[in-house]
Amino acid sequence: MYRTAQNIAAMCLGAVIVLATATPAFSDDSVPNPSELAAATTPALYQGEVIDLAEDWEGAQACIQQEAGALIEFVCYEDVATAAAAESWEEAGEIGASSLSSCGAGHMCLYQFKGYGTPLVSFNQPGTYNLADKFFRDRASSLYNNRSTKSTLVDFRSGIIRDRSITFDPRQTIYDLAHVAYPDGGTWDNKADRVIVR
Ligand SMILES: [Ca+2]
């Protein structure tokens, strides 16, 4: 009798171990793993996985800052249309007649290519963001400051040369930063190292 009970206990323990092994700590893909979050410079959720925007977007085309206090700061999508639908961006946020791209109300959107071409990274919380942390340094070529406040791009300079900056009005769009003159010659295309959102 004792032996049988022991065997049953062992079987139960085995079953528990199998269950524990087969079930991840977070069975819901939408819940990020805390250790992954801590290891990433800029953790973002993309297709149920935590990625680090500073390292690799892993094919994501639109990474959207979430409301303050969100469990994870950025959520990424495979294209802008999917992002716009998931984030409930208003149609008013669409740029141009083709609606190829969009930028949600309250967001400062930076696009890697002119004409609002993706990848896109957007910010909707006031703050100062180093774009290297988003794998976006020296990449922005167009933008839409779809906010009620001004936003600023900064280009880092070294030595005695002051950093350069340019500020955009609320709702301002720039189709092509290659048409925006840079203080020391050239243009603002692929120059921005930091964005300041107010
Ligand atoms: Ca730069």
pLDDT computed for residue 138 by the predictor: 98
Select from 168, 109, 98 the least CA-distant residue to 141: 109
Residue 143 pairs with which residues in a beta bridge? 110, 174
Which tens digits make up the pLDDT trace of 94-149? Answer: 565 444 468 999 999 999 999 999 999 999 999 999 999 999 999 999 999 999 99
How remote is the CA of residue 154 from the centroid of ligand 1, in Å? 8
Write down the architecture of domain 30-197 according to CATH. Sandwich (2.60)
> Domain segments of the chain: what residues?
30-197
Cβ < 5 A residues, ion ligand 1: 138, 155, 191, 193
Ligand 1 center–CA 134 separation, angstroms: 14
Q: What pTM was computed for the model?
A: 0.81
Run of H or E including 16: helix 2-22
Give how far Cα 111 sits from Cα of 76, 120, 122, 161, Å. 14, 5, 9, 27
